[in-house]
Amino acid sequence: MNAIKKDRQYFKFCFYGFLKNLRFFDAFFILFLIEKGLPYTQIGILYAVREIFINIFEIPSGIIADTYGRKNSLIASFVAYIVSFYVFYLSNDFWLFMIAFLLFGIGDAFRSGTHKGMIMNYLKLNNWENQKINYYGHTRSWSQKGSAISSLVAGLIVFYNGTYQNIFLYSVIPYLINLLLIISYPKELNQSFDQANTKSSAPIRFTIKSLFKILKQPNVLKIINTSAIHTAYLRAIKDYIQPLMVNVALIIPIMLNVEAEKKNGIIIGVIYFFIYLATSRASQLSSYIAEINKRNISYITLLTGFIFGILCGVFYIYDLWVISMIAFILVSVFLTFSAISTHILNSPKS
């Protein structure tokens, strides 16, 4: 296996992922909404509306990114994120939360796949495509490290403030820094490799034609289906696991004289810290795992993740909270393997 070329742009890619996942509210998102008085029904509606919005704008946002520039798309994405953080901080009403979720959805739609495309483009420009699994796995591992640090910092914020609301304001800081980092990316990454080498005077028409050309490739439907299943499954369980973490925190015999919310903040932050350390290591090892069975590894790891997900639910029903938590950690690890092998190993040809 070839060694990764760790130039300046490699460290920028890693730092981007690290900063992107310094979303201090992630570990307490459901708990924050519950604290604001929203019932699970309304929380489910907000999540559903956000996911529908993201899915509707996924392809149009990709066309816009390829037409007007990937850097520009990421900049717009992070502006939408930052505005959504302020709206979350100020919101106490369901409809204000709806606006915040829609802004967050805009950010997700314009960011999703864009930075990964820039990484693949950079590898093409430098003839380093044989490193794509290892390279992407290492840069993604920094995203998981960011999540791990984010969870610890968020736990400390909740412990000292006694509330979840302020973590949205603190989340603005790393996103502003990331916005400046994206602006510093080289201009050749603003367009895709194919666009940079075409003389087409109609960029939108060229992009749409390229989209249909890619969709005709046999591997693409496999990537879309596997990726959609993986993303939907992980999104469905990752935040709703927080009430389980509260139950685990309650049975841990420490900090008995501390307020429940502050104790929950510290313990949940620590739990997430170790979960993301595990998924960070899984990202780094993804290239080695992929070499075992290049044809079936994405399906094997996805199926294994599903099995542990079912076990997580069964153990939760029978109040075996700690065992359920361990099963959830294994879900996260195996779905990390599946995500990287699906997106990178089976990526369609340009």
pLDDT for the residue 24: 93
| Residue 121 domain flag | yes
Instruction: Check whether 209 has a pLDDT greater than 80.
Output: no
Helix axes 114-125, 8-20, angle to 10 degrees: 170
Question: How many helices and strands, by DSSP H and E, does the chain display?
Answer: 15, 0
Q: Which residues of 277-297 are buried (b: 16+ CB within 10 A; e: fewer)?
A: bbbbebbbbbbebbeeeeeeb
Here the tokens at position 303 are 């199926």
What is residue 82's predicted lDDT score, i.e. its pLDDT?
A: 97
Residue 182 lies in a domain: yes
Is the residue at 350 inside a domain?
no
Count of domains observed in the chain: 1
The band of 150, judged by pLDDT with boundaries at 50, 70 and 90, is very high
Does residue 100 surpass a pLDDT of 80? yes
pLDDT digits (tens, 9 = 90+) for 43-59: 989 988 988 888 788 77
Reply yes or no on whether the pLDDT at 217 is more than 80: no
Could you tell me if residue 248 is inside a domain? yes
The pLDDT, as a whole number, for residue 300 is: 75
Whether the pLDDT of residue 240 is over 50: the answer is yes
Kindly state whether residue 84 falls inside one of the protein's structural domains.
Answer: yes
Mean predicted lDDT score pLDDT of the chain: 81
Q: Which of 166, 186, 181, 180 is nearest to 14 (CA)?
A: 181
Q: What is the CATH number of the domain that holds 309?
A: 1.20.1250.20
Residue 3 resides in a domain: no
Could you tell me the maximum CA-CA distance found in the chain, to the nearest angstrom? 69
Give the pLDDT confidence score for residue 288 in this predicted structure: 64
DSSP 171-229: HHHHHHHHHHHHHTS-GGGSS-HHHHT---S-HHHHHHHHHHHHHTSHHHHHHHHHHHH
Mean pLDDT: which of 176-185, 188-197, 305-314 is highest?
A: 176-185
Mean pLDDT computed over 223-249: 71
CA distance 176 to 187: 20
Place of tokens 């008085």: 37
Kindly report whether the global pTM for this prediction surpasses the value 0.95: no
d(CA 313, CA 189): 43
Confidence of residue 67 (pLDDT cuts 50, 70, 90): confident
pLDDT band at 328 (very low <50, low <70, confident <90, very high): confident
Tokens of 200: 């087409």
Highest-pLDDT range among 198-212, 271-285, 310-324 = 310-324
Q: Report yes or no on 1 lying in a domain.
A: no
In a domain, 206, yes or no: yes
Angle between helices 70-90 and 40-68 (to 10 degrees): 160
Confidence of residue 349 (pLDDT cuts 50, 70, 90): very low
Residue numbers of the domain that contains 82: 8-345
Tell me, what DSSP letter sits at residue 294?
Answer: T
Mean pLDDT of 5-21: 92
Closest CA to 339 of 298, 282, 291: 298
Under a CB-based contact definition with an 8 Å cutoff, are residues 289 and 344 in contact? no
Return d(Cα 62, Cα 84) in angstroms, integer.
Answer: 21
